[in-house]
Chains A and B, each alone.
Chain A
Amino acid sequence: RKEVEQDPGPFNVPEGATVAFNCTYSNSASQSFFWYRQDCRKEPKLLMSVYSSGNEDGRFTAQLNRASQYISLLIRDSKLSDSATYLCVVNIPNTIKAAGNKLTFGGGTRVLVKP
């Protein structure tokens, strides 16, 4: 089982609609969680950090469910410019060494917003 898994999509979304997708992680010791956005062949850029209480930034809402070990991203009122791949990132502590961080990316969920 992969440490961080995402539905690759694509999610074809009509402009103005709401889309949501999850990311599951296997290590219960995982700490920080992030959603990144990546446009084709460009560098990933931070979309949102994900906090235990959930957080919202404009049309984007991120949730963390530690019991079920997944994070979610919801996009409301989708815009054409939201078309991208959304990467889930999980910080898994290095249990072998006293200090160290392994940042594991999910494979990404592709979202296509269409007129």
Chain B
Amino acid sequence: EAQVTQNPRYLITVTGKKLTVTCSQNMNHEYMSWYRQDPGLGLRQIYYSMNVEVTDKGDVPEGYKVSRKEKRNFPLILESPSPNQTSLYFCASSFVSGSYVYTQYFGPGTRLTVL
């Protein structure tokens, strides 16, 4: 089954404790992206990756890191989480051709609470 998986689905942590949210897709997509969704602010792009070893900042990259060492995986790293990073996070992937991004498939989301 074609899918995007995220882990963990729910996480409660404390300020400053490094964490990683994993994202994996089995569709051989070149493009992967992370979003956060907050009430009243909608979905905002954190980072995206056009392909292996090619990543770029989205609209709200501060406090986050990513890596793309393999095509299927795109982990999101919070080196020192803070309460303002409490949010619902989505990973997504898609095929891309030149600058045209095709349909994005989303993971189920990770609900993160930073105390």
Residues on A close to B: CB < 8 A?
31-32, 34, 41-46, 49, 87, 89, 91, 93-94, 97, 99-108
Contact = CB atoms under 8 A, between A and B. Distances in A.
Given A103-B45, A107-B42, A91 B90 contact: no
Interface string B21-63: 0000000000101010000111111001010001010110000
21 contacts: A42-B108, A42-B109, A43-B109, A46-B105, A49-B103, A87-B43, A89-B104, A91-B101, A94-B99, A97-B56, A99-B54, A99-B99, A100-B99, A101-B48, A101-B50, A101-B96, A102-B48, A103-B33, A103-B48, A103-B104, A105-B35
A105 B64 CA distance: 20
A32 B100 contact: yes
A32 B97 CA distance: 11
Nearest to A46: B103
A103 B102 CA distance: 11
Contacts of A45: 106
Given A87-B43, A102-B58, A46 B99 contact: no
A97 B55 CA distance: 12
A99 B31 CA distance: 12
Contacts of B98: 99
A106 to B, nearest CB: 7
A106 B33 CA distance: 16
